[in-house]
């Protein structure tokens, strides 16, 4: 099967995997053509489809070439008119011949389409197409200035020279001009209109700027590691956006702490391939001198009592989740189709194309069935939940894993701070995990509590969207301590959740759970945790979710100082 037939199958909705375009391509084991080529062809054809459908219709291509489908026609005409190498088939191939014999008419109609849009050149038409693509976008392009290599002022004077300052994110999205918004919550973060692509800019290639959603910047900024906190662990580090953000903050603290032992970051990534991506990003960002990557090392297998980590005072955990908050993660791009021979012109989105012809034939039998819910985690893995029960089971499994990972983080002997975050909208992965942690024996015996809102670093304290009280057993203070972000709410961010935990006191190794070395058994961990120090407290034991001072409206921990500051974004990952 050719590149064009396989791409058409993906866009027609016949792919065996569900989810968005990326997952349909890269999770499809039946594909023979290079996946990168298929994905690029599909993306570009969808982007240009409103123009190409007009060209195909006006040239009457489908009336002349009855064996072509509307989707195949779009793909082939795209490459004929816009690809540098033309149609990627032998000259004698039937599909190529069906298009090439209409080259003159197709080219003429393409020129007419350009003139109708008042574009003087193909490059001007490309800008017009990009502008239309992003004209209804609710999300700007967020860019973090990497202070390991540059400053905000330097980038405003160079990379963003000619951009006018906007007063709000809404202004950036509404205006056609080159506007830039300097964020009010996260230092060294700016937003520009989504149609401007910086992936080929010198600043991006050198690591001076990093493409990172605003909400993804919350964990490192909320953690706010100080020199006194010692070393830092990023337990789920790839692809590296949060790791490099941490590094920029740690670096600024190291510079300010004269004479003190400089802190380092231990970055763990159990997947070897993703660890290589992490290494590339850390190196490009210039944080390799601060960051020690543990390749293929599972954070859950790290001994919290290991002397190597005796100076770890802060931990950032952003574990695998449902990915339900990521912008565009569950979407397919719009595809404008030309009219099939003898039919009226069609315009449909890929959401309507998800059902294949065979599924349509069964629709009458399935009208009462529950709709499928497709979960695509932050690794791009697709899980289809065919019912609400299946969805709940999947979310509970994720929640249990997230709780286990975070509970492990709270055991490090010198730890004083920890953040927990997800790019999920589900309470099972967010507030429910926080409550379980606060009620755990580990948290209560070691004095861990949630960092209250009034003690959070200023930008996070001022962020208006907080946790949901109903998901916090009615505890308003816990809900206020949790930070949420909602996609499509006008703030231009993805769906996100983060909460910070803190504790007082000196190093207390006596309270670290006993780790008993046991004989290694295949597929079993090399140690066991004392079962009396895990899980929830006894039913008759009251739990204090906030410190007594916090519940009484006191100051709680001293306020943290302001820090300095996952797709083609760093290798195509959203973090």
Q: How far apart are the first and last CA of the chain?
A: 35
* Neighbour tally for 310: CB within 10 Å: 16
CA 478, distance to chain mean position in Å, is 26
In this structure, what token pair is assigned to residue 383?
Answer: 């899980």
Looking at residue 119, its pLDDT comes to: 94
Looking at residue 506, its pLDDT comes to: 55
CA 82, distance to chain mean position in Å, is 30
**Paired strand residues for 419:** 316, 500
Q: Are 549 and 449 in contact (CB under 8 A)?
A: no
231-234 and 312-317 strand pairing: parallel
Looking at residue 566, its pLDDT comes to: 47
- What is the rounded CA–CA span in Å between residue 337 and residue 24? 20
Give the SS3 label for residue 26: helix
Looking at residue 517, its pLDDT comes to: 34
* pTM of the full structure: 0.73
User: What is the pLDDT tens value at each position of the chain, 575 positions in all?
Assistant: 689 999 999 998 755 555 678 878 888 888 899 999 999 999 999 999 999 999 999 999 999 999 999 999 999 999 999 999 999 999 999 999 999 999 999 999 999 999 999 999 999 999 888 877 766 677 999 999 999 999 999 999 999 999 999 999 999 988 768 999 999 999 999 999 988 889 889 999 999 999 999 999 999 999 999 999 999 999 999 999 999 999 999 999 988 877 667 899 999 999 988 999 999 999 999 999 999 999 989 999 999 999 999 999 999 999 999 888 887 655 677 899 998 654 544 544 444 343 333 333 333 344 444 444 555 554 555 555 667 888 889 999 999 999 999 999 999 999 999 999 999 999 999 999 999 999 999 999 999 999 999 999 999 999 999 999 999 999 999 999 999 999 989 899 999 999 999 998 655 544 444 333 333 333 333 323 333 333 333 333 333 344 433 333 333 333 323 333 343 344 333 34
Which stretches of 442-565 are assigned E, i.e. beta strand?
449-450, 483-485, 496-502, 515-517, 527-529
- What is the rounded CA–CA span in Å between residue 222 and residue 499? 8
Alpha-carbon separation of residue 431 from 85, 148, 299, 399, 529 (angstroms): 52, 34, 23, 10, 25
Q: Are 450 and 503 in contact (CB under 8 A)?
A: no
- What is the rounded CA–CA span in Å between residue 189 and residue 169? 12
* Neighbour tally for 52: CB within 10 Å: 28
Looking at residue 120, its pLDDT comes to: 95
- What is the rounded CA–CA span in Å between residue 107 and residue 123? 15
Catalytic residues: 423
Give the SS3 label for residue 143: strand
334-335 and 348-349 strand pairing: antiparallel
- What is the rounded CA–CA span in Å between residue 442 and residue 537? 9
Binding site for S-adenosyl-L-methionine: residue ranges? 236-242, 269, 298, 318
In this structure, what token pair is assigned to residue 317?
Answer: 């955990």
Report all structural domains of the chain as residue ranges with CATH numbers, in order of start.
3-131+328-376 (no CATH), 136-211 (3.30.70.1170), 218-324+396-507+535-551 (3.40.50.150)
Q: Name every residue whose Cβ is closer than 8 Å to that of residue 331 and which is 6 or more positions away in sequence.
A: 20, 350, 351
Give the SS3 label for residue 345: coil
**Paired strand residues for 189:** 144
- What is the rounded CA–CA span in Å between residue 510 and residue 72? 68
Rg of the chain over CA atoms, in angstroms? 26
What is the CB-side half-sphere exposure of residue 205 using CA atoms within 13 A?
3
Looking at residue 562, its pLDDT comes to: 31
């Amino acid at each position: 099967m050719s590149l064009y037939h396989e791409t058409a199958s993906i866009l027609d909705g016949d792919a065996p995997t569900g989810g968005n375009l990326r997952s349909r391509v890269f999770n499809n084991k039946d594909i023979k053509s290079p996946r990168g080529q298929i994905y690029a062809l599909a993306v570009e054809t969808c982007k240009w489809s409103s123009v190409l459908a007009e060209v195909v219709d006006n040239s009457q291509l489908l009336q002349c070439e009855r064996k072509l489908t509307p989707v195949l026609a779009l793909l082939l005409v795209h490459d004929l008119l816009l690809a540098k190498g033309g149609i990627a088939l032998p000259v004698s191939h039937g599909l190529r011949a069906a298009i090439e014999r209409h080259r003159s008419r197709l080219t003429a109609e393409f020129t007419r389409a350009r003139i109708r849009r008042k574009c003087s050149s193909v490059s001007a038409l490309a800008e017009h197409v990009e502008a239309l693509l992003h004209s209804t976008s609710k999300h700007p392009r967020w860019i973090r200035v990497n202070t390991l290599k540059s400053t905000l002022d330097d980038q405003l004077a160079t990379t963003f020279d000619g951009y006018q300052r906007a007063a709000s994110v809404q202004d950036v999205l509404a205006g056609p001009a080159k506007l830039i918004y300097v964020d009010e919550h996260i230092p060294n973060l700016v937003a520009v209109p989504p149609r401007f692509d910086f992936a080929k800019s010198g600043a991006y290639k050198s690591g001076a700027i990093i493409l990172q959603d605003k909400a993804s910047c919350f964990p490192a900024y909320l953690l706010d590691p100080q020199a006194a906190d010692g070393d830092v662990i990023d337990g789920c580090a790839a692809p590296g956006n949060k790791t490099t953000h941490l590094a920029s903050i740690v670096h600024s603290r190291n510079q300010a702490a004269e004479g003190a032992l400089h802190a380092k970051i231990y970055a763990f990534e159990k997947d070897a391939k993703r660890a290589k991506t992490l290494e590339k990003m850390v190196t490009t960002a210039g944080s390799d001198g601060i960051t020690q990557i543990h390749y293929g090392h599972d954070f859950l297998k790290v001994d919290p009592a290991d002397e190597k980590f005796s100076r770890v005072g802060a931990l950032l955990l952003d574990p695998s989740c449902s990915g339900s908050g990521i912008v565009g993660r569950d979407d397919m791009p719009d595809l404008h189709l030309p009219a099939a021979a003898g039919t009226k012109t069609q315009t449909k989105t890929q959401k309507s194309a998800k059902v294949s012809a065979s599924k349509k034939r069964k629709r009458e039998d399935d009208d009462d069935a529950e709709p499928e819910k497709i979960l695509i985690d932050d690794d791009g893995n697709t899980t289809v939940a065919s019912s609400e029960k299946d969805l709940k089971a999947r979310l509970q499994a994720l929640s249990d894993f997230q709780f286990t990972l975070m509970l492990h983080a709270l055991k490090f002997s010198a730890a004083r701070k920890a953040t927990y975050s997800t790019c999920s909208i589900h309470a099972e992965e967010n507030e429910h995990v926080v409550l379980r942690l606060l009620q755990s024996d580990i948290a209560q015996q070691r004095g861990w509590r949630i960092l209250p809102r009034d003690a959070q670093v200023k930008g996070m304290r001022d962020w208006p969207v907080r946790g949901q009280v109903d998901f916090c057993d009615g505890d308003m203070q816990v809900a206020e301590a949790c930070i949420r972000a909602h996609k499509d709410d006008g703030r231009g961010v993805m769906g996100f959740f983060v909460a910070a935990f803190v504790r007082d006191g000196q190093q207390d190794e006596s309270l670290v759970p006993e780790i008993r070395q046991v004989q290694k058994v295949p597929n079993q961990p090399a140690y066991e945790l004392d079962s009396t120090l895990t899980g929830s407290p006894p039913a008759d034991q009251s739990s204090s979710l906030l410190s007594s001072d916090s519940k009484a409206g006191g100051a709680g921990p001293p306020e943290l100082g302001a820090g300095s500051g996952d797709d083609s974004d760093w290798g195509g990952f959203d973090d």
